[in-house]
């Protein structure tokens, strides 16, 4: 078995610059055991695609246990993200109703308005942090809208709960005080949604929680805890990743002034920027799976019940799939083949919504502040090996 003495995703150096480590793993140990995580890693595009195509071998069943452990906000039922087909299919069909292209396109004006208001606030500060003063609030405000939560009342809390929950995969390395704060956030999030569900039972609206309650009442067998679990996952999935996509897309344009000039001259290119960012700097770097039996891959045997990480952040830089993969190139052919939203049954339900949010944020920021520039040339990334985005990005208009 290959060991991974120098492959440590918990190390700060790795988290700042994972790509050289991924490249080495793709070339030398495309399937390897990672001691620091007590898990197996899969690094090549084709191999990650294989895991998504075969849920009978690579099950999602332990996603929540692995990702959140004791910080699972709804431990009573398996979350949609931890179900395999066919159980997954039933829940996903109901949730899909809230994410059809027609519903999402219908939100464009609302999204533009939320973003415009947030830019008013950020711009009023003069110099500001593009991440914490702006990007972080875009998805929480939009997701709160979908869930039917008061955006202004909800967004500060939403952000805090989400920031605490994404620390859960690193929980073995965190101090007691931080763990206690995370526990508190999880309890608050849960209590908040229990109240919201009770409220929407009495006051149905045009929102996802009401839609989920209605599905239950029409005897489509969604239980109270299933509704709670779905709402909590959408809040989490929808609140975190798009803010990193926004921050990173802007960073990519700061890094490439010629591309930025083209986008400013032709804002319809923003969609290309978002897609290429999803490939080049995926906000989610791996997906949790469990081997359901002994699995042979690249002369290694992944033992049954092992935790497996499919590193989509590495797959998206695989030179076997993408030419010159480390270069950010909005004209790249086939960039849409990226795995930034995963593949298969769990392919992100909020892909279109996330892309619309990000496109609108970049377009409006550049329109309003054509000379927007970073204050420091150094960029620090978030201390995480799961989620990638700028930690902070101070900018001046
Ligand atoms: C724009 C940035 C986004 C990225 C990069 C992203 C990425 C992903 C990835 C990689 C997965 C698969 C996870 C797995 O299989 O373990 C996923 C699933 C999911 N995402 Fe997203 N996501 C984004 C936006 C959103 C938004 C805006 C929402 C909701 C409002 C959302 C809700 C979900 C849900 C509920 C799932 C689970 C789907 C299922 O299990 O069937 N995501 N996302």
**Stretch (H or E) spanning 291:** strand 287-291
Q: CA Rg, the chain, in Å? A: 21
When pLDDT is cut at 50, 70 and 90, the band that residue 380 belongs to is very high
Nearest to 342 by CA among 332, 333, 354: 354
Residue 369 lies in a domain: yes
Residues 387 and 23: their CA atoms lie apart, in Å, by 18
Asked whether 80 lines ligand 1 (CB < 6 A), one says: yes
Atom of ligand 1 nearest to the CA of 283: 5
Q: Is residue 2 a part of any domain in this protein?
A: no
Residue 380 lies in a domain: yes
The answer, yes or no, to whether any atom of ligand 1 lies below 6 A from the CB of 348, is yes
Cβ–Cβ < 8 Å for 288, 346: no
- Give the pLDDT of residue 325: 98
Residue located nearest, by CA, to atom 38 of ligand 1: 346
**Cα separation, 91 vs 84, whole angstroms:** 11
Nearest alpha carbon to residue 91 among 78, 74, 72, 105: 78
Distance 229 CA to ligand 1 centre (A): 14
CB atoms within 10 A of CB 290: 22
Domain annotation covers residue 155: yes
* 3-state secondary structure (DSSP) of residue 180: helix
Spatial contact of 270 and 196, defined as CB atoms under 8 Å apart:
no
* Cα–Cα nearest to 362, from 244, 262, 259, 274: 274
Quick check: CB of 64 below 6 Å from ligand 1? no
Give the CATH number, domain containing residue 166.
Answer: 1.10.630.10
Q: Is residue 28 part of a domain?
A: yes
Query: Where are any strands of DSSP class E within 21-94?
Result: 31-34, 39-42, 58-59
**pLDDT-derived band at 145, boundaries 50, 70, 90:** confident
**Domain-embedded: residue 146:** yes
Mutation to probe ligand 1, out of 90, 241, 248 (largest number of atoms < 8 A from CB) = 241
Question: How far, in Å, from the CA of 265 to the mean position of ligand 1?
Answer: 31
- Cα(341) to centroid of ligand 1, in Å? 6
**What digits encode the pLDDT tens for the residues 342-356?**
999 999 999 999 999
52 - beta bridge partners?
Answer: none
For the whole model, what pTM was predicted? 0.91
CA atoms of 84 and 82, how far apart (whole Å): 7
Structural domain including 255 reads 12-396
Residue 274 lies in a domain: yes
Distances (CA, A) of 225 to 69, 197, 222: 18, 10, 8
**Over the range 211-221, which residues count as b (16 or more CB within 10 Å of their CB) and which as e?**
bbbebbeeeee
pLDDT in tens, 24-78: 999 999 999 999 999 999 999 999 999 999 999 999 999 888 888 899 999 988 8
Please report how the helices 351-368 and 270-280 are oriented relative to each other, as an axis angle in degrees rounded to 10.
Answer: 120
Q: How confident is the model at residue 276 (pLDDT cuts 50, 70, 90)?
A: very high
Atom of ligand 1 nearest to the CA of 288: 16
- Facing residues of 387 across strands? 284
Distance between alpha carbon 256 and the CA centroid of its chain, in Å? Answer: 24
Rounded (10°) CA dihedral 18, 20, 21, 23: 120
What is the rounded CA–CA span in Å between residue 54 and residue 295? 11
Residue owning the nearest CA to atom 3 of ligand 1: 241
**Tally of structural domains, the chain:** 1
Q: What is the pLDDT of residues 99-125, one digit of tens each?
A: 888 888 888 888 898 899 999 999 999
Q: String of b and e for 117-148 (b: at least 16 CB within 10 Å)?
A: ebbeebbeeeebbbbbbbbbbbbbbbbbbbbb
Give bridge partners of residue 300 from the DSSP assignment: 297
In short, whether 285's Cβ falls inside 6 Å of ligand 1 is no
195 within some domain: yes
């Amino acid at each position: 078995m290959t060991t991974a003495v120098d492959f440590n995703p918990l190390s700060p150096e790795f988290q700042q610059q994972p790509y050289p480590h991924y490249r080495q793993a793709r070339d030398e140990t495309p399937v390897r055991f990672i001691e620091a995580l007590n898990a197996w890693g899969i690094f090549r595009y084709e191999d990650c695609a294989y895991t998504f195509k075969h849920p009978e071998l690579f099950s999602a069943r332990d996603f929540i246990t692995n990702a959140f452990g004791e910080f699972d906000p709804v431990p009573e039922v398996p979350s949609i993200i931890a179900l395999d087909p066919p159980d997954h299919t039933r829940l996903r069909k109901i949730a899909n109703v809230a994410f059809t292209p027609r519903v999402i396109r219908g939100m464009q004006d609302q999204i533009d308005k939320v973003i415009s208001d947030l830019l008013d606030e950020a711009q009023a500060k003069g110099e500001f942090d593009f991440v914490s003063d702006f990007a972080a609030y875009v998805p929480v405000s939009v997701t709160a809208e979908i869930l039917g939560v008061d955006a202004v009342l909800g967004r500060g809390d939403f952000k805090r709960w989400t920031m605490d929950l994404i620390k859960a995969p690193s929980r073995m390395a965190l101090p007691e005080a931080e763990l206690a704060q995370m526990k508190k956030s999880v309890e608050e999030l849960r209590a908040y949604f229990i109240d919201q569900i009770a409220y929407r039972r009495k006051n149905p609206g045009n929102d996802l929680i009401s839609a989920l309650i209605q599905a239950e009442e029409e005897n489509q067998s969604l239980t109270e805890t299933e509704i709670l679990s779905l709402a909590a996952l959408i809040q989490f999935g929808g609140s975190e990743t798009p803010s990193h996509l926004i921050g990173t897309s802007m960073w990519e344009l700061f890094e490439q002034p010629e591309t930025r000039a083209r986008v400013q001259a032709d804002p319809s290119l923003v969609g290309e920027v978002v897609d290429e960012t999803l490939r080049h700097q995926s906000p989610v770097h791996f997906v949790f799976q469990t081997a359901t039996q002994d699995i042979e891959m690249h002369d290694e045997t992944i033992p049954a019940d092992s935790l497996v990480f499919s590193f989509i952040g590495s797959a998206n830089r695989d030179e076997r799939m993408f030419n010159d993969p480390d270069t950010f190139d909005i004209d790249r052919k086939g960039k849409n083949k990226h795995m930034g939203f995963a593949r298969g049954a769990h392919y992100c339900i909020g892909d279109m919504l996330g892309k619309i949010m990000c496109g609108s944020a970049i377009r409006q920021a550049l329109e309003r502040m054509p000379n927007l520039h970073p204050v420091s040339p150094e960029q620090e990334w978030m201390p995480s090996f799961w989620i990638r985005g700028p930690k902070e990005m101070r900018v001046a208009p």
